[in-house]
């Protein structure tokens, strides 16, 4: 799509997105932000309505500097305001970090916080194109195997997007940071967290003649979530 501009380089550093704590873990680099957004299907979208915050989980996908998300549960937000400021956050917990002191306990994680202005995809054709991209980015080739979407279904589906104006990525991936306390006689280390797909569960009414597509089998075996 012509809006895609997968530029290299950093997002601007402003009062909103400046990394205030643990500078060593923070980055405004595009590739760092993209890596987190692309690693997890689930995001949390924050809106403000009448001054109060709302945080909604949903699925997202990305094309260059544009992030899309599924409008599920967004109807109240869409009614409240058009073109509203949004903070979309993705987080993956990679492990518990157990140190010798409570203070140095931490987690290993990857997170990205991106800021922009929410828009809705209005044109049915553009919406269909976005949903095809969405579906195929999770499950390669699936869109063309599905029965086509009806006009009514397209109307009932909300797709939102924003261009990333500012963003921060943070990563911690290390053992406990307290080597000076190695003499304290308590177990220290990392309990890694794994997120992965398990064996597919065919729908109860799926004909036995329909096998799991190779692309889905490959996704399950990949160890990735998307």
Interacting residue with its own copies among 14, 193, 218, 223 (CB under 8 A): 193
Q: Which stretch binds its own copies (CB under 8 A): 3-11, 27-35, 60-68, 213-221?
A: 213-221
| Phi, psi of 165, deg, nearest 5 | -90, -40
The H-or-E segment that residue 207 falls in is none
Minimum CB distance to its own copies, residue 87 (Å) = 5
Considering only residues 30-69, where is the footprint of its own copies by CB under 8 A? Answer: 41-42, 44-48, 51-57, 59
Interacting residue with its own copies among 122, 151, 185, 208 (CB under 8 A): 185
Minimum CB distance to its own copies, residue 197 (Å) = 5
Nearer to its own copies, 6 or 146 (CB): 146
What distances in angstroms separate CA 79 from CA 53, 74, 83, one per listed residue?
15, 9, 11
Considering only residues 115-174, where is the footprint of its own copies by CB under 8 A? Answer: 115, 131-132, 135, 138-139, 142-143, 145-147, 149-150, 153, 156-157
The end-to-end CA distance of the chain, in Å, is 21
CA proximity to 158, closest of 51, 45, 49, 54: 45
Nearer to its own copies, 6 or 200 (CB): 200
What sign has the CA pseudo-torsion 190, 195, 196, 201? positive
Number of CB atoms found within 10 A of residue 112's CB: 27
């Amino acid at each position: 799509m012509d809006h895609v501009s997968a530029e290299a380089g950093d997002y601007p550093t402003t009062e909103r997105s400046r990394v205030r704590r643990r500078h060593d873990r923070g980055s405004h680099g595009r590739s760092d932000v993209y890596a987190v957004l692309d690693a997890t299907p689930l995001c949390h979208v924050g809106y403000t309505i009448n001054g109060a915050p709302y945080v909604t989980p949903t699925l997202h996908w990305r094309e260059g500097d544009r992030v899309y998300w599924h409008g599920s549960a967004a109807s109240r937000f869409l009614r409240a305001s058009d073109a509203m400021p949004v903070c979309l956050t993705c987080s993956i917990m990679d492990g518990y970090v157990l140190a010798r002191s409570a203070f140095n306990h931490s987690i290993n994680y990857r997170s990205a916080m991106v800021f922009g202005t929410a828009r809705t995809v209005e044109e049915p054709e553009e919406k269909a194109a976005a949903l095809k991209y969405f579906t195929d980015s999770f499950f390669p080739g699936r869109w063309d195997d599905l029965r086509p979407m009806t006009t009514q279904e397209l109307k009932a589906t909300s797709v939102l997007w924003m261009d990333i104006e500012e963003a921060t990525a943070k990563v911690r991936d290390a053992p406990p940071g307290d080597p000076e306390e190695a003499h304290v006689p308590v177990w220290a280390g990392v309990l890694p967290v794994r997120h992965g797909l398990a064996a597919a569960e065919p729908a109860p009414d799926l004909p036995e003649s329909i096998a799991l597509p190779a692309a889905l089998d490959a996704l399950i075996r990949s160890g990735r979530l998307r």
